Structure 1
Amino acid sequence: MHLSLDERKLFIECLDRIKNEIEHPVDNHTAEIVASHIQVLLDYLSRFYERQFITRRKVNSDVLTKFEKALKEYYADGHGKDGVPTVNYFAEIVNLTPGYFGDLVKKETGKTAQELISLRIIEFAKQQLTATDDDISIVAYDLGFQYPQHFSRMFKRVTGISPTQFRKQISIGYN
């Protein structure tokens, strides 16, 4: 987490309050006061975590640009044989933890990283289904799916139609 100097100061003050309360003799109020201080600390941490997505727009934008570039290059560079790309794969590319990366993508785009990956996979699938007569299972394997039915399910979830129906619509459009 990225903290400003003031935020670090607040964080340390909260920890000091908790420490001071724990070091005093225990009475009927100790547990409640410690719990309250911990809750305040957690509230501040939530605020700081969410704020960094607002205050670091330029950095976040750079991360998204890098992610989008890597996403486009994944299949162009022949990585489909390595499997379907994952959030972890792209988080590693942009040097972030998967959780933080996912939060950043969601805050910046309104979509989860997995949704964006799925949309890109479907774009590639549509290109392949349009440009070739390859069997649906071949297209699925080329995109990194171990099982063609997983590909078909994703395709239908994203587009509302099956890959076969998509192909039929394309062929009707060309006639």
Structure 2
Amino acid sequence: MRYYIKFFVVFCFTNSNIDKFEALLNEYFRCDKPHIIGLAAVNYSADQLHLSPNYFGDVVKKETCKSPFKYISLKVMDIAKERVLDTSRSISEVARELGFKYLIILPGHSKSTGYMPVEYRSLS
């Protein structure tokens, strides 16, 4: 454990690495990966950044005070909020674009915003 803590302190993420994680998520949702792979996952992100999932989780938690899963979930909700406002696409199309395969509404959207996706869309 002492070795891990020492290694963790020496090689911990910097802001530029958090920026790399953010850029990785942005790129993930810009292309067709959600259709192919599904929702962005911690293992995928750790692999792309050449870190073990456990170490990646520890580092993201230390730097952002959020678990990687929570960080990714919040990112998905931010993107969903933007895309739901585009009335040329249905809510289920937006959900599929984000990697939700069989859902009609975006899970957690009402918890995050206080509104169902259709209500959120009509507010703007």
- TM-score, with normalisation over the residues of structure 1? 0.62
Q: Which whole-Å CA distance do the structure 1 matches of 2:84 and 2:103 have between them?
A: 14
- 1:169/1:129 CA distance change after superposition, 3 Å: same
1:164 aligned to which of 115, 118, 122: 118
Letter in 1 for 2:5: E
Match of 1:88 in 2: 43
Superposition deviation, residue 51 in structure 1: 4.2
Rg comparison, structure with higher value = 1
Any conservation in 2 of the 1:136–1:148 contact (CA below 8 Å)?
A: no
Q: Which whole-Å CA distance do the structure 1 matches of 2:28 and 2:59 have between them?
A: 21
Pair 1:129 & 2:84 matched: yes
- TM-score, with normalisation over the residues of structure 2? 0.84
Q: How many residues align?
A: 122
Q: Which runs of 5+ in 1 are unaligned?
A: 1-44, 171-175
Could you give the per-residue CA deviations for residues 127-156 of structure 1, whole angstroms, max 9, x where no partner exists?
Answer: 21112332211111111101225x522222
SS of the equivalent of 2:108 reads helix
Query: Could you say which structure has the greater relative contact order, defined with CA pairs below 8 angstroms and 6 or more residues apart?
Result: 2
1:73 aligned to which of 27, 43, 52: 27
Superposition deviation, residue 166 in structure 1: 0.9
1:97 aligned to which of 52, 57, 78: 52
Superposition deviation, residue 157 in structure 1: 3.2
Q: Which runs of 5+ in 2 are unaligned?
A: none
**Structure with the higher helix share, 1 or 2:** 1
Could you give the per-residue CA deviations for residues 44-102 of structure 1, whole angstroms, max 9, x where no partner exists?
Answer: x1x44334443334xx1143222111011111123221211111110000111111111
Q: Which whole-Å CA distance do the structure 2 matches of 1:162 and 1:53 have between them?
A: 41
Pair 1:117 & 2:72 matched: yes
